[in-house]
Every structure is written in C-alpha cells, then in structure tokens.
Structure 1
C-alpha cells in the first residue's frame, strides 16, 4: 500500500530530525510569540525623530529616509538612503528599544510556564541520543532559543562566558563541567547580534543579561537591514559568530528551519550547496512559505525536503513526491508544537 501524504511527512520528518540537524530560526518563529516583525518595526521607525541637535544636513537625510520608508520596506529604504553613522545609531537604538521589551515579555511568560516554547521539547528530543551539542543558527535578535534551553535545564552557549558580565571567548568555548563531564550544550549562533550584546564606552564587546531597559552608555550590538548589514558583519563579534555558524552549516547532517524565509545570503549559501550536492535533508515550517524558499525548493536541486505551511484549518505539504503541494486538512503540523507530535511518540 502506498503511503498517505501524512505518512510521507512522518517519514521525511523522522529522517531529518534523527540526523540531529542544525536548527535555523527565522523571524516567523519569534512572531508566534508576539515579537514584531519588519512591518511593525517600520511603522515604529516612522514615528522616530532625529536628535535635537541634528544638523540641517542630518534633518534632510532623515526626512529623505522617512519619505522613502513610507513607500517601501525597511531594508529597501536603508539600502537606498545612506544615513550618517549618528543617524544609523538612532535606527539601531530605536530598534532595540522597540523590540527588546517584547523579548522580555516572553521571558516573563516562561517563568510561569516552562513548556511555553516548543523548542524546549525539540531540544530534549534531539538530546535523547548520543549528541553532545545542538547548533542553532538565527538572524533573530531575541533570546527565545536561549530561553528554551534554560527551560529544558540544558546549557546554552553564544560565544561568551557565563555570569552577569560576560566577555567574548576568542579562544573557544567555555563549558562548565557537570560531575566532571562536559555538559550537553545548545550553541546559539546569532549572526545579526542579540538584545543582550553591547559595546561599552571603551568599545569592548559585552553580553549583559538585561530586561526592558538598555543600560546607560551601552550601544546595542544588532545589525539592522540594508547596506549596514553587509558592512557590520565583517567586524567583531559578528565575524566570529558567522564563522561558527558557517562551520555548523557546513558539517550539518540535516537542516530544520522554522519561520525562515531564505532571504539572507549570509546564511543560506552553504545550506543551498549542501542540499544540492550532498542530499542533506531539510525541513521547513512556516506560516507562509516565502517566494524565495518556493523557488529554491521547486528548483529540483533539493533532493530531500519537507516544507509545510498554513492552509485553511490545516497544512499544505511540499516534498519531492508533491512538488506543487498537497493539502493536509485539519492537521496544523506547520506549527512546531503540532509538528513535534509527528516525531515524539
């Protein structure tokens, strides 16, 4: 008897997850927990004004940016309108101040419900094996990947030491042994920065576990969309993090993508190469699969994939056997929590 689409989804899901895949988190995952995406950030930035001591040239530049931002998306506006370093800092600070409280709100919810984040269950399942590490690669600034590890009682590592005043680990990871053994660890490689990363007054990189308010005199280390993204990611700490992310992607036996739109060349070049040349399995869960992801998956270059998106009250599944998609009524396995029911019996 031939397999049903749901049976096929189960088989493809198990093949990918059993490989201890690299987890790639996009903004769609965070959006499910109330963290705004680019449209809401754009609306917020349209309300931001330049510094009170801005020069006439800076006012003109800012007004030009606002005019363009009113007509196009944030990344396009930042690509087309070159802002001074000071005005770029206004964008960065305003982005942090708008988004960081939403991240902290998730943390407050997690204090009441340790099962809030489905990543927690996924981590536990992946470590129900001989795996010593799990790698997460994400362009997101939020700390949902780290929160999920903490909720599972699993160490996480982001390239910094432990404690309240965390410094970089340029010589490699620092792991706190448990009963003399190296603990299982979730490595979280945040290629565009994080809400808890800052430059201090001496331009030293620090990781500070903060809440809703940015520490005085500290500059957020987050990369906003646009040309600045490509310039900044060649500097530290981004360069070291990207190196680790690339290493994880190059050696991965599978890719598990959640809410990821395949719109970041920084991340997917290696992923695309390995899926095309080495048949590395890929799973993609998304509320709506992006046009870029559709093009990639339908190109015939990915030999093993399972992509799921919302469709009415159920899901639509794409895979090599169903390249144009097949509907799975009343099955919301495009959502991570529901998807995990396929693989955690």
Structure 2
C-alpha cells in the first residue's frame, strides 16, 4: 500500500489528540549549533586528553581513538574502553566545561528572544494544549545543556526538574511540585474545603544529569552558579558516554524512578532530534510500549539511521519525519506502507516548520 499525503497528515493529526511523552536529544541543540553534538565533543576530547595521562590511561584512550579511526564504533560505544576512574572524572570535567562554554554563549539570547531554541515553539504549543484535568507535560532529555530551560523561561512556561530550594536546590519531586501549585479557598454554602490547583507546566527529566547538577556532602543538588565555576570538593552529577555511565545509572536508578514512571504512564511518545543510541533511555519499557502495546510514536529528526529504522520496522504505529537523502526537503515513513512519502516543498524535519504545519504557527 502506498502512503499518501492525506493519510500521513491524518495520522500525525491523530497523534496529537493524546498528550505525548516528549524525549529530545542532541539533535535539538545541534539544530542551533553543531558544537553541541558528539563529533564536536569527540574532537575536543581528542585534543585535550592527549597530554598528562598515566600509561594505563593512555592505553585505554588509545583503544577509544583506534576504534573511532577504524570506524568500528561510534563515539558513545568507543568510550566503553575507559575503565579508569580518574580518567573518567577528567572526561566528565572536560565534557562539562566544553558544553558549558557553548551553553553560556546562548543563554541570554534565547531568554531574551533574539535567538530561538528550535524546539521551543513546539513545546509551547503542547503545553498550551494540556487539558484542565492533566496540567503537566512530561519532557525528558539526555542533554547536559540548559537550552530548553532558557526557552521555557522565554515563553514563561513554568517547569520543574525535581529540585527545590534557593541557591542550592535539593532533589525531591513532591517538594518541587509545590512550586507549580496554589491553594484556592473554597466557595459556596456550605463552604467547600480549600483545594490544590496546579498551573500548566513542564516536568523536565534529565536522567543523565545536567550542567547544573552536582553531588555535594552525599546529596544530589542543583546549583546554576557552579556551572562555570565548580568549587573544589564538589562532584559533577553528569553521566558521560561509556560504561561508567551504566554503572552510575545503576547506582542512581532511584533518581530515574520518576522518568521510568512517566514512561509507563504514557501511551503516546514524541522523539525530537533523538537518534535512539541510548539503550538506557529507550529501554525495555519502550519496547513493551511501542512493539507489544503498539502505542503511537512520532520521530522528528534531521537524519534517519539504522537504529531508528529497526524500531520503525518493529513498531507498527511509529512514524518518522526526516530529511530526504538528496535534499533538505522532507520524507515521511511508517512500516505499514510500502515506501517513503516524499514531501518536496517543505522542510518538516525542522521543528519550527513542523509546528507551523501541524499545530499552527
């Protein structure tokens, strides 16, 4: 069966009748600046790590470099060769300072509106469409940068990340939630009891940590002031590519409980600029949801890849919008149809163009 534009547009319109769980990847940041991507980070680490290593560390790093040069591994899987904890911590610090430098360059311009984070208008539309009975949009990302947070500030969209407090914010979702709630007095006769009213907001899950998350005195904290100037004795709570990531994630799974719960509670999933490389985030729960339960999913990304296409093959209600191979125009695919639908007059894989086309400008 051939996929027609009418059928594709109808399916995408139906997708947005449910509130989706949103998972966005580095593609959303790279659409603004390629320095947020893995290739740029790889180049930075290659240049910075060349000096000052022990023999064992140099050997492990050489394995990473050899695997990358041979093309047998991508950057994330090549980092599995790093076992040395001191080297891992050095990589975390180098990664953080590199991302923080580029993040800082965009912070004010996104918040002031002189520059757009590409997925911002899409999130704004999704929050505006939240029903009265359910005023939270669950959004998750493996990204360390805070570009999404700056965009939410720009659009005056309240958001919580699971932390509450002042200069130092402590990890507790139920306390964090109070910041988007008010107590309304009861009315009528007899007077109704006071009730908690929540405003529309984003619950932002950052399971790999963030530029502003740290471990200090055995507690997980958030502090914006330390992004560029981390004090001595404070450890970054960021999980970088490689096996260290999985060990840390295993240890920190308690912090991921909210992420896991949110995935379980949704039946519709929107992936933005996400390459499906991260098996920790698109885990067995997602397999159950998309393959077995045949939940709806929509992937909007610049380039397709073999991992995404493997998921498409196995998930009958998953759709993708991406760039054509030979041009910047769009193509759409779902495995129930024989071939890709080519859209030759629009670049719908760009988040703002997609938003204009399907959700209104």
List per-residue Cα deviations over 1:254-308 (Å, max 9, x = no partner).
1111111112221222222112232311110111112111011023xx2323211
- In structure 2, the CA distance between the partners of 1:60 and 1:323, relative to structure 1 (3 Å rule), is same
Distance 1:48 1:4, change over 3 A: closer
| Partner-residue secondary structure (3-state), 1:279 | coil
1:20 aligns with 2:19: yes
**Offset from partner CA, 1:102-145 (integer Å, 9 cap, x none):** 12222222133177134332233223241310001211111233
Distance 1:211 1:308, change over 3 A: farther
Q: Distance in 1 between matches of 2:55 and 2:359?
A: 61
The one of 145, 151, 156 aligned to 1:153: 156
1:241-320 equivalence runs, <5 A? 241-268=255-282, 269-299=284-314, 302-311=315-324, 312-320=327-335
Whether the 8 Å contact between 2:3 and 2:337 is mirrored in structure 1 is no
- How many angstroms apart in 1 are the aligned matches of 2:15 and 2:226? 36
> Bigger CA drift: 166-175 or 187-196?
166-175
Distance in 2 (CA, whole Å) between partners of 1:134 and 1:196 is 22
**Aligned residue for 2:103?**
103
For the residues of structure 2 that align with 1:3 and 1:289, how far apart are their CA atoms?
20
Matched, 1:141 2:144: yes
Q: Take 1:49 and 1:4, find their aligned partners in 2: how far apart are those partners?
A: 49
For 2:101 and 2:243, locate their aligned partners in 1 and report how far apart those are by CA, in whole Å.
Answer: 26
1:274 & 1:124 partners in 2: Cα distance? 26
2:348 matched to 1:330? no
Count of residues paired in the alignment: 337
**Does 2:234 match 1:192?**
no
Residues 101, 212 of structure 1: 8 Å contact kept: no
Give me the whole-angstrom Cα distance separating, in 1, the residues matched to 2:344 and 2:226: 41
Normalised to the residue count of structure 1, the TM-score between the two structures is 0.88
Structure 2 residue 199 is matched with structure 1 residue 183: yes
Say yes or no: does 1:167 pair with 2:170: yes
Q: Distance between the aligned counterparts of 2:140 and 2:110, measured in 1?
A: 22
TM-score, with length taken from structure 2: 0.84
Deviates more, 1:180-189 or 1:207-216: 207-216
Given that 1:198 and 1:220 are in contact with CA atoms closer than 8 Å, whether structure 2 keeps it comes out as yes
Counterpart for residue 187 of structure 2: none
Task: Flag structure 2 segments of 5+ consecutive residues without an equivalent.
Answer: 184-196
In structure 2, relative to structure 1, the CA distance for the partners of 1:179 and 1:247 (3 Å cut) is closer
Judging changes above 3 Å, is the alpha-carbon distance between structure 1 residues 14 and 170 closer, same or farther for their aligned structure 2 residues? Answer: closer
Going from structure 1 to structure 2, the CA distance change for 1:134 and 1:122 (only over 3 Å counts) comes to: same
Deviations 1:190-219 (A, max 9, x none): 11111111123x343211114762322232
- 1:322 aligns to what SS in structure 2? coil
Of 242, 245, 260, the match for 1:226: 242
**RMSD value over aligned CA atoms?**
2.6
Report SS of the residue matched to 2:204.
strand
Q: Contact 1:197/1:220 (CA < 8 Å) preserved in 2?
A: yes
Deviation at 1:61, TM superposition (A): 4.6
Distance 1:137 1:116 in 2: 19
- Which string of whole-angstrom CA distances, capped at 9 and with x for unpartnered residues, describes residues 162-189 of structure 1? 4331111165643225653322220111
- Check whether the contact 2:28–2:119 (CA below 8 A) recurs between aligned residues: no
Q: 1:88 to 1:121 in 2, by over 3 A?
A: same
Answer yes or no: is the 8 Å Cα contact 2:31–2:118 preserved in 1: no
- Note the C-alpha offset of 1:335: 1.2
Residue 45 of structure 1 pairs with residue 45 of structure 2: yes
CA drift of 1:19 comes to: 0.7
For residues 50 and 11 of structure 2, what CA distance do their matches in structure 1 show? 51
Cα–Cα, structure 1 residues 74 and 115, in superposed 2: closer, same or farther, change >3 Å?
closer
The runs of 5 or more residues in structure 1 that have no matched partner are none
